[in-house]
Amino acid sequence: MFREDSPEEECGVLGIFAPKEDVARMAYFGLSALQHRGQEAAGIAVSDGQTLRLHKDIGLVSQVFDPLTLSKIKGDFAIGHTRYSTTGSSSARNAQPFLIDTQYGPIALAHNGNLINAAELRQELLKKGIGLSSTSDTEVMTMMLACSKGDTWFDRLKDAILHWKGAFSLVILTRDQVFAVRDPWGFHPLNVGMLPGGGHVAASEVGALRTLGCEAYREVLPGEIIALSNTAMIAFQAVPIPEQTAFCTFENIYFSRPDNVFDGKSVHAIRQRLGENLAKESPVEADVVIPVPDSSIPAAIGFSRESGIPYNDGFIKNRYIGRTFIEPNDSLRQLGIALKYNVIMENVLDKRVVMVDDSIVRGNTTGPLIQLLKAAGVKEVHLRITCPPIKHPCFMGVDMGTYDELIAHRCTVDEICRKVGADSLSYLSLQGMMSAIGREEGYCNACFTGLYPIPPTIGMTKTGFEQSIGE
C-alpha cells in the first residue's frame, strides 16, 4: 500500500540543450509526445545561461502552455515534466519541475519514479532545519542536491545519487547544463539523442526524441549520469550496474508508447509476441480478434496471426478522452469508460469475439467493455490478457493501487471471469511473458510475483508489504 504522501509515479521527463533554438517550444512538442505518461500536470523550466524561469500547472500540456507563456521562457537549456500521481495527491504544489535557489545558484529537477527511502531522507532534511513545501519525492531530491558535497553540480550529483534508493529517471537543469540521470536498477526508461543542428535531448521515450528530429539516440545506462552543455555530452557511470537489473515489465505491457525502445528492444515487437504467445497458451474457437485500443493493438495482431482468427476493430476510441488507468480515482475511471469507447457493431454482431487487453488492474474497465460488446449483439466474449494476474502493488513508480484495490489479489481467475461477464478468461503466463520480452531475468515482476527487487522499507505502510511476503 502506498504512503499517504505523494510518490512521483509514472511520468514523462524531458531535457534539452539546443543553442540558438526556441527550447521552450521544443520542450512543449517533446512533452506532447510524452502526454500519455501523465495527464494531471505539466511544467517547463528554461535557462538562458544566467536565469532559470519556470511555468507549471495542473492540466494537459496544451492547457498549461500557450504561445504567450512559451515566449516568456527563453534560453538554450530546458527541462520538462508531465505528471500523474496517486489518489488524493493531485495538487499544483506537487507539479514539476521543482525550482529552488541555492548557495551554488538555481537548480530545477524533474523526476519519474519513486524513492522507497524518501520518508527517511525527508526526516533527515527536516532535522537539519530544511523546510519542505510539498509532499513530493522530487523536492526531497532537489533539496538533497543543494546540500550535497562537491565543487560542481556534477560532483554534488555524484554524491547525492548514492543516497537515493528506488526508481528514478531524472532531468536536472542548472544555469548552463542539463543532466540526465537513471537509477542503478534501470526501472524506467530514459534516452538521450543528438540534434542535427548541435545539442542534445534527453527524454523518457524515443518518440519524443524523434518528434524533435534527433538523428541518433541511445538509452541512458542504469546508474549513469549524462551532462549536456556547451562543451560536449559527457557520460559518467556514477553507480556500477548491479548484477541483476530491474527493468519495469509493465513499460512493455502498457505504459510505453509502442514506438519506444526499452532495454534495446522494440516495445511494438514485444507486444506482438505477447499476443502470439497468448494464442499458443490459451487457444479458443472464435470468429474475430479485437483489441482494447490502443496499447493492446499489437498484441491482438499477434494473437490473430498465431491463431488464424481474423483481426478487426471492435471499439472506436474517443481520442480526446484520457487513459482511464491513470485517472486519479475509480469514479473518474468509470465515467471515462462510458465516454471513451463505442462498439463498431458491424464487426462483432452475432460473432464469437476474442477481446485482447494488456492487463486487468482494478477491474473497473473490463466489465463495462464486455457489457458494451454484449449489448451490441456479440454471441461470446473470450477475454485474453497479455500478462499474468497483477496481485501486488508497485512501490517503484506505477500506480497499481493497494492490495484491496487489485482484483487479482482478491479473486481467483474464475471469479474475475464471472465478475466481468466474460465467457472465458485467460492470462499469459510469466514464462510466456518473459519469452516475448526475450529475457528470463533482469526485469521487475513484483506486481505479478510479490518478489520485490528492493524490499520496501521506511515510508511504506507495512500492511500491504507484510501481506505480500506472507503469501
Domain definitions of the chain by residue range: 12-242, 250-469
Does residue 134 surpass a pLDDT of 90?
A: no
User: Residue 222's pLDDT is what?
Assistant: 97
Tell me if 394 is assigned to a ligand binding site. Answer: yes
What digits encode the pLDDT tens for the residues 147-157? Answer: 998 999 999 99
* Mean pLDDT value across the chain: 89
What values do phi and psi take at 71, rounded to 5?
A: -70, -20
What digits encode the pLDDT tens for the residues 267-288? Answer: 999 999 999 999 999 999 999 9
Of these residues, 11, 147, 387, 411, which one is catalytic?
11
Q: Cα angle at 188 between 184 and 194, to 5 degrees?
A: 90
CA distances from 179 to 44, 77, 123, 190, 366 (A): 15, 10, 26, 12, 41
Tell me if 358 is assigned to a ligand binding site. Answer: yes
Distance CA 281, CA 385 (A): 11
Catalytic status, residue 147: no
Does residue 405 surpass a pLDDT of 70?
A: yes
Tell me if 5 is assigned to a ligand binding site. Answer: no
CA distances from 16 to 44, 73, 109, 433, 457 (A): 11, 14, 13, 35, 35
Cell of 337: 469508460
More confident residue, 172 or 462: 172
Does residue 469 surpass a pLDDT of 60?
A: no
Does residue 97 surpass a pLDDT of 80?
A: yes
Tell me if 248 is assigned to a ligand binding site. Answer: yes
Can you list the alpha helix ranges (DSSP code H) found in 95-150? 118-127, 137-147
What digits encode the pLDDT tens for the residues 421-432? Answer: 999 999 999 999
What digits encode the pLDDT tens for the residues 309-325? Answer: 999 999 998 877 654 44
Does residue 3 surpass a pLDDT of 50?
A: no
Average pLDDT over residues 232-243: 90
User: Residue 86's pLDDT is what?
Assistant: 46
What digits encode the pLDDT tens for the residues 51-91? Answer: 999 999 999 999 999 999 999 999 999 999 998 764 335 56
Does residue 264 surpass a pLDDT of 80?
A: yes
Cell of 410: 482478491
Q: Which CATH class is domain 250-469?
A: alpha beta
Tell me if 295 is assigned to a ligand binding site. Answer: yes
More confident residue, 327 or 226: 226
Does residue 42 surpass a pLDDT of 90?
A: yes
Q: Which CATH class is domain 12-242?
A: alpha beta
User: Residue 431's pLDDT is what?
Assistant: 98
Please tell me the pTM assigned to this model: 0.89
Q: Kindly indicate the confidence band of residue 24, based on its pLDDT and cuts at 50, 70 and 90.
A: very high
What values do phi and psi take at 262, rounded to 5?
A: -135, 125
